[in-house]
A and B are shown apart, each in its own frame.
Chain A
């Protein structure tokens, strides 16, 4: 018994680790693929070299991020079977087809056109190349669509019946299963999160280069585009998150109770706790600091609305409150910080100082990686909040795992941790190194050549010699600029 508990815990840690690591890359590449499509589209429309330069600058980064997303994603597609075989057997008739559709409609599309996007500029012509870029961007979105449908069904399962062999069998229409109650909210919230994550990375990189040289036209364009995103999309995201939260309260009330730290029911208006230390043992929030009645106002739009607490939920059905409570606060905090940057940038734009305020740029650099933190925090909020179930209310996590011995899972977990940190650490380092070079005129693509000037980062002149004003001639083997 003790052994099987250990194996279960290890399997959970392994899944949490591999999925969190994996999710970082798509969160970036979903947004970046669209950004690349926008840049290439603007280049085709205006013919401005600047857009092509930015396209190539981010394409190199995209290639690395996408490769890491692919290899860590394949791990996920097998992880269900290796470590959660009982879950796979039981949910396969419903979730299997959705994931098969993801492969058919998204993975092949991305992978099939990626080669042309990365290496085919000179072989297929501009329009067809742009089509390839669009297909990759669309593919990343379709992928998000299906996998979030799968994930949402695990939160809000509908349209199934339990078969004689214990499997969950599809009963209602597939439309109902795919568009299960939490799916539209989760899809919108997650995809916007990916766009914001990318926008803040782009903004952070641009701000970094503006701090060094505020005349760099390429960095200015990037910064302006990123700040438009922050200003326009961050408020939308906060609204979408609120809607998602209300949807969660309808379908998974104990998750919202954990997010709010509401161990106790509040018949006459519940406080919004800003801080506290959740204590599952004693079922109370220690050191709580809260604003009276505000939670009822947010969740029920009424100050005195009663809100049930975890005391209405049997102990064995409660999620662990601490990770949910804190992860939620981190996510919300970052969301409002993003909004703050957006507002600040609008003010700077209005004053015509968007490229001149170093403190705005410093803040944008600081916020550069914030999207990743928010995305992971949001993920922890929703996934830990689903515990102790894998399929909410239907299948318990403890009954989902593979019949594996603890040493087998422990060994694989160690291997994943060591290799992921080494390999993806190196990849992240390469990305940061590419980002540390200012975007400039005649930016080189990802084409591979050993002849002529090697296009790796190390040989590019440093920022002080090359302020990116774009006065150096194009090397002759580069793609010709737009006519």
Chain B
């Protein structure tokens, strides 16, 4: 039992890492999609797109790992969450279809480039919104009977999930804008900087709103954040978040290139930590813990061996791919 305890906890952290990696890495891709209409048609848009064209596919793969990993390590959670948020997941997948093909299609069909640009933005927005609402639907609780989802197919639609959805859109826009501050220069960079500030404020407000709303959702969440001694462990998260927020606003105001992006990622990391504090040890609140949903030890061990070996290699060649395309994005192919 104690071995199983450890393995299950390790797997919860691995899945959390995959989700975090997805959220920040595809987050800036989706954010650029959301902000795309504010960029001028022509070289400015092309450069924004080119800054992520070589890496978006790898970024999106973390979503498959999050889903596939959940299926493997916590099959019950996979089997509960997806039916509970069915329309959201379908919307997200279809949004990602439009977003993904737009990378190729807009170059292949200049006559209809506006349509594929719109698909890029629409797909990104829908995917971001659906992901945020899925998170909200999970936090607000999923009705479970036995081993199946027992709610209706619109349980996920509440004011709270709308808030988490909009918050995610804002957060992704912040990641996208700060990525572009890093990768672009000149007038485009100034534009990205301006967008970054707005997105930062929106993100702070919505993050705060979601946090406050959270403690009203159920007794456990309130206890975690509002009562002693839990509050001593939890308090550093909001305090650090405030400090990072201030540093981010400052970095966006002065001539910084990569710093706002790294601070935005830190902000997301703290958000993720807060999420962990809130949910632990439930993987499908309010009833199912990570141990309830865990795959048997034999499955966990088999995957852990592979993950321990392969994950560092993945991180290495992913980092290399980013390194290959380092620096400001130019008009590729014009040498």
Q: Using CB atoms and an 8 Å cutoff, list the residues of chain A in contact with chain B.
A: 63-64, 67-68, 70-75, 77-78, 80-82, 85-86, 88-89, 91-97, 99-105, 107-116, 118-120, 122-124, 163, 165-167, 169-170, 174, 402-405, 408, 411-412, 415-416, 419-420, 423, 426-427, 430, 433-434, 445-452, 454, 456-458, 477
Contacts and interface: CB of A to CB of B under 8 A. Distances in A.
Contacts of B79: 81, 85-86, 88-89, 92, 402
Contacts of A108: 58, 61, 65, 314, 317-318
Given A122-B335, A123-B324, A85 B100 contact: no
B333 interface: yes
B147 A104 contact: no
A477 B108 contact: no
Contacts of B307: 100, 104
Given A408-B87, A447-B333, A456-B108, A81 B149 contact: no
Interface in B51-94: 53-55, 57-58, 60-61, 63-65, 67-73, 75-76, 78-83, 86-87, 89-90, 93-94
B73 A454 contact: no
A169 B294 CA distance: 12
Contact of A454 (B86, B94, B110): B110
Given A81-B67, A112-B321, A448-B46, A67 B104 contact: yes
Contacts of A93: 75, 295-296, 298-299
Contacts of B76: 89, 92
A346 B335 CA distance: 45
B246 interface: no
Among B87, B307, B334, the one with the most A-chain Cβ atoms within 10 Å of its Cβ is B334
B139 interface: no
B1 interface: no
A107 B49 CA distance: 22
Contacts of A457: 108
A456 B82 contact: no
Contacts of A445: 333
Contacts of A74: 60, 63-64, 93, 96
B58 A111 contact: yes
B97 interface: yes
A430 B153 contact: no
B43 interface: yes
Contacts of A72: 97
Contacts of B255: none
Nearest to A418: B94
A82 B89 CA distance: 8
Contacts of B54: 114-116, 118-120
A85 B107 contact: no
B331 A167 contact: no
B147 A113 contact: no
A400 to B, nearest CB: 11
7 contacts: A100-B73, A112-B317, A112-B321, A165-B147, A412-B90, A448-B50, A451-B331
A100 B65 contact: yes
Nearest to A169: B296
B312 to A, nearest CB: 11
Nearest to A178: B302
B125 interface: no
Contacts of B299: 92-94, 96-97, 169-170
Contacts of B75: 88-89, 91-93, 96, 167
Contacts of A92: 71-72, 75-76, 78-79, 295, 299
Given A88-B71, A88-B82, A111-B60, 13 more contacts: A70-B100, A81-B82, A89-B147, A96-B68, A96-B72, A100-B68, A100-B307, A114-B57, A174-B302, A419-B97, A423-B101, A427-B105, A458-B111
Contacts of B317: 108-109, 112-113
B310 interface: yes
Nearest to A444: B333
Nearest to A82: B82
Contacts of A426: 101, 105, 109
A10 to B, nearest CB: 12
Interface residues of B, number: 77
Contacts of B98: 419, 423
Contacts of B302: 97, 170, 174
Given A77-B68, A81-B78, A448 B332 contact: yes
A70 B71 contact: no
A107 B68 CA distance: 11
Given A97-B72, A99-B71, A120-B324, A85 B60 contact: no
Interface string B132-171: 0000000000000001111011000000000000000000
Contact of A419 (B94, B148, B295): B94
A81 B57 contact: no
Contacts of B72: 92, 96-97, 99-100
B186 interface: no
Contacts of A124: 324
Contacts of A456: 107-110
A102 B71 CA distance: 13
B109 A113 contact: no
B68 A64 contact: no
B303 interface: yes
Given A71-B100, A450-B46, A103 B61 contact: yes
Nearest to B311: A104
Contacts of B87: 408, 411-412
A477 B335 contact: yes
A124 B105 CA distance: 26
Contact of A81 (B60, B71, B103, B107): B71
Contacts of A118: 53-54
A94 B69 CA distance: 12
B93 A119 contact: no
Nearest to A64: B104
Nearest to B52: A115
B229 interface: no
B53 A448 contact: yes
Contacts of A122: 335
A450 B332 CA distance: 9
A102 B83 contact: no
A161 to B, nearest CB: 10
B61 A97 contact: no
A190 to B, nearest CB: 20
Contacts of A68: 101
Contacts of B5: none
B325 interface: yes
B332 A449 contact: yes
Nearest to B119: A423
